[in-house]
């Protein structure tokens, strides 16, 4: 995980110019979250311990706990309950990754073998369940309201996954896709902001604004990833372009390109996962020439505008400045 200079905050967030005191406070909080994660998932059964720590040790962006900690900085900061909540949302996220890798038949996760590839599907599913259980135990210590919130969030996560699995059917594919990312990605990030606000003494209006910001910025990150997967060369993004094409995932730029009528050849290429490298390159070129990318970027801009509107309802401080930097970065990384 690449981090900003002298901090534990991932460089991908674009927070290099954030207030140094804020960065130091949040970095210390992330260290406490990391320690709690490893403590909570420990098991006396060695095999369970190894499987549960598999993704914890692999690191990752830790965006959800980071957002929880940033959301707390508008008020009392990283209280003990904020740290607990931040660990809980990360455990839920990690649990979904174990399950996602089974559904996607993935072989790699965060540069290492996925749990289902290293062991088997049953182990991966059970490990995900194990992490869900520990997340629930952490949240139970935070009270009835927090327990209800995480239950509602899990419902949204599962509904989003089911919605994606079943497909759009007769509904509009674009609206279907935006609903999926709101539930699969936005809902847990929304809860991260909600928890950070709740457990730092925020007002109901501040809790609502940070929750809404989280939902919006979570979906915006997914849209920006969609654009980067098509538009950015590997030497700029650090990722191999066309990953979604190879996996047969129809992302927002693709859906817009198809909705515009599109090239007959593009329709043919997007009908199934593409395994041939030359055809991946061909599809990328057709998508880059289509209007789908520009429409996706305009949609991303509209999400950013909505995110700024939520931030405008919050008091001016270093944390709000940091979230504005984050919002700008989500858009800028796709240009």
Is the pLDDT confidence value at 155 over 60?
yes
Is the pLDDT confidence value at 2 over 80?
no
Is the pLDDT confidence value at 12 over 70?
no
Domains and CATH numbers, the chain: 1-143 (1.10.600.10)
pLDDT bracket for residue 234 (50, 70, 90) = low
φ, ψ of residue 290 in degrees (nearest 5): -80, 175
Is the pLDDT confidence value at 235 over 80?
no
pLDDT bracket for residue 153 (50, 70, 90) = very high
Residues 319, 323, 328: CA angle, nearest 5 degrees: 145
Q: What is the pLDDT of residue 135?
A: 97
CB 226 within 8 A of CB 251: yes
What are 254-309's pLDDT values in tens digits? 999 999 876 899 999 999 999 999 999 999 999 999 999 999 999 999 999 999 99
Find the mean pLDDT for residues 204-209: 98
CA distance 303 to 23: 25
CA distance 302 to 304: 5
pLDDT bracket for residue 1 (50, 70, 90) = very low
Q: Residue 272: how many CB atoms within 10 A of its CB?
A: 8
Size (the chain), residues: 335
pLDDT bracket for residue 5 (50, 70, 90) = very low
CB 163 within 8 A of CB 171: no
CA distance 35 to 213: 27
CA distance 300 to 219: 9
CA distance 286 to 266: 7
Q: How many helices and strands in the chain, by DSSP H and E?
A: 17, 2
CA distance 282 to 59: 35
CA distance 196 to 211: 9
pTM recorded for the entire structure:
0.93
Q: What is the pLDDT of residue 6?
A: 39
Residues 9, 14, 17: CA angle, nearest 5 degrees: 85
What are 96-142's pLDDT values in tens digits? 999 988 988 877 777 688 889 989 999 999 999 999 999 999 999 99
Q: What is the pLDDT of residue 262?
A: 67
């Amino acid at each position: 995980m690449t981090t900003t200079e002298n901090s534990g905050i991932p460089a991908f967030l674009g927070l290099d110019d954030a207030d140094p005191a804020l960065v130091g406070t949040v970095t210390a909080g992330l260290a406490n979250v990391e320690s709690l994660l490893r403590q909570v998932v420990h098991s006396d059964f060695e095999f369970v311990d190894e499987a549960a720590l598999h993704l914890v040790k692999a690191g990752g962006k830790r965006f959800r706990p980071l957002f929880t900690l940033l959301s707390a900085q508008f008020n009392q900061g990283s209280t003990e309950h904020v740290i607990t909540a931040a660990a809980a949302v990360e455990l839920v996220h990690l649990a979904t990754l174990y399950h996602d890798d089974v559904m996607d038949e993935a072989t790699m996760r965060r540069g290492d073998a996925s749990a289902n590839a290293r062991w088997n599907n049953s182990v991966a599913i059970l490990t995900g369940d194990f992490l869900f259980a520990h997340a629930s135990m952490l949240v139970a210590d935070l009270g009835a309201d927090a327990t209800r919130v995480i239950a509602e969030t899990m419902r949204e996560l599962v509904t989003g996954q089911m919605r994606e699995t079943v497909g759009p059917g007769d509904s509009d594919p674009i609206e279907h896709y935006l609903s999926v990312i709101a539930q699969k990605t936005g809902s847990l990030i929304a809860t991260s902001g909600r928890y950070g606000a709740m457990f730092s003494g925020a007002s109901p209006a501040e809790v609502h604004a940070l929750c809404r910001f989280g939902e919006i910025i979570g979906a915006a990150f997914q849209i920006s990833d969609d654009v980067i997967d098509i538009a950015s060369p590997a030497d700029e993004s650090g990722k191999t372009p066309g990953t979604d094409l190879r996996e047969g995932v129809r992302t927002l730029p693709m859906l817009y390109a198809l909705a515009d009528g599109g090239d007959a050849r593009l329709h043919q290429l997007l009908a199934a996962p593409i395994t041939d490298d030359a055809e991946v390159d061909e599809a990328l070129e057709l998508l880059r020439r289509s209007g789908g990318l520009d429409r996706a970027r305009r949609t991303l801009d509209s999400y950013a505008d909505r995110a700024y509107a939520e931030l405008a309802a919050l008091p001016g401080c270093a944390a709000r400045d940091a979230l504005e930097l984050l919002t700008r970065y989500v858009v800028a990384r796709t240009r």
